[in-house]
Amino acid sequence: MESSNLAALPEENVEEQNNQHQRQEVASAFASVPHRPATQSSLQKYSPLDWKDYFDQEDDIKIPDSNDVSSGLVFHVYMAGTEGPVVFCLHGGGYSGLSFALSAGKIKEKARVVSMDLRGHGKSITENDLDLSVETMCNDVLAVLNAIYGDSPPAIVLAGHSMGGSIAVHVAAMKKLSSLAGLVVVDVVEGTAMASLIHMQKILSSRMQHFSSIEKAIEWSVKSGSLRNIDSARLSIPTTLKYDESKKCYVYRAKLEETEQYWRGWYEGLSEKFLSSPVPKLLLLAGTDRLDRTLTIGQMQGKYQMVVVRHTGHAIQEDVPDEFASLILNFISRNRIGPHGAFAIIT
């Protein structure tokens, strides 16, 4: 991923630190709130797009608190498609469910898509947005799946990017999802992630922190290199921000810098958990340098399918959404994952 990434995460590739200074120069033009208004052409080029062109509906999934039914949790989800297995998408830290919007527009032609705003992100509401422990987030995912599908869930493919990839692996390892039919992990590897944790606070603090408008935030995300697809940025960036009345500007919705105590838990033992999952597995990487020893051996033994997606950054599903969607659908077809747990080839 890019070290000046709008959604920088603890699996930051250490080798990319060497290019940080160069990237900061690119971002420096946006390092403070501009005093002059954006031009009309800029506003149009970086204006937000409507998710309704890609997802079919959005919903708030209410999870009652076991102690207080009136409070509980509210998780925001986006849904698309009417047939086929469910591709349940989990975004990375600092992103939102709309990170999969462009991809969902293609995947829904042959499968269903549900993309969830994780705790502390997007439009989801919890009493403790800073509890990003792997246990809490896994329980959140299982609670949402249970609320949507009850005791008869369809075949489900968990697809997680970055932090969401680690959550997907841990959910699979819990063996509480009876209809789990596939596991897709996007650009997160235990070895690289663990080695880079010591750099993360510096990386997070080096990001631009305030934006005078949503358009400026979208523009910065593209020009800094954190996202390479303007349309995806126009869809996903707005829900990663919130307006701060006291500062009169937009700031990050997710307070990742305050969740450091949980980072190690996301990634410790991740490779072994991934390899031990009995369902078909797909690992999508932006570069082969991300592989650690455990995964390298597992890949040589044919324990999972790996695809290196070229010419993309950390957010593969956003940078090349059509290719990402094709890889997901081919994975479903190749493993004959059907809509109700039965095997049926998607054509």
Tell the residue number behind the tokens 């049926």, with chain if given: 344
Place of tokens 């934006």: 211
The more confidently predicted of residues 314 and 16 is 314
Q: Name the nearest CA neighbour of 78 among 116, 110, 123, 108.
A: 116
Which residues are bridge partners to 211 per DSSP?
A: 250
Dist CA 189 CA 174 (whole Å) = 19
Q: What CATH number has the domain bearing residue 201? A: 3.40.50.1820
Residue 6 lies in a domain: no
226 is a domain residue: yes
Question: What digits encode the pLDDT tens for the residues 190-229?
Answer: 998 999 899 999 999 998 999 999 999 999 999 999 999 9
Stretch 155-173: mean pLDDT: 98
- Span 325-342, pLDDT tens digits: 999 999 999 999 985 443
213 inside domain: yes
Domain-embedded: residue 23: no
> Cα–Cα distance between 344 and 341 in angstroms, integer?
9
Number of helices and strands in the chain (H, E): 14, 10
In the 8-state DSSP scheme, what is residue 125? B
Q: Which domain holds residue 291?
A: 57-337
Q: What residues are labeled active site?
A: 162, 187, 314
Q: Is residue 102 part of a domain?
A: yes
Question: Quick one: pLDDT at residue 27?
Answer: 34
What b/e string do you get for 61-81 counting C-beta neighbours within 10 Å, with b at 16 or more? bebeeeeeeeebbebbbbbbb
Residue 51 domain-assigned (yes or no): no
In a domain, 347, yes or no: no
- Looking at residue 39, what is its pLDDT? 58
Count Cα atoms within 13 angstroms, Cβ side, for 231: 14
Structural domains in the chain (count): 1
Question: What is the distance between the alpha carbons of residues 243 and 146, in angstroms, rounded to a whole number?
Answer: 33
DSSP of 168-193, one letter per residue? HHHHHHHT--TTEEEEEEES--HHHH
Torsion sign, CA atoms 54, 163, 63, 122:
negative
What value does the mean pLDDT of the chain take? 86
For the ranges 104-113, 133-142, 162-171, 197-206, which has the lowest average pLDDT?
197-206
What pTM value is reported for the model? Answer: 0.86
CA angle, 320 then 51 then 333, to 5°:
50
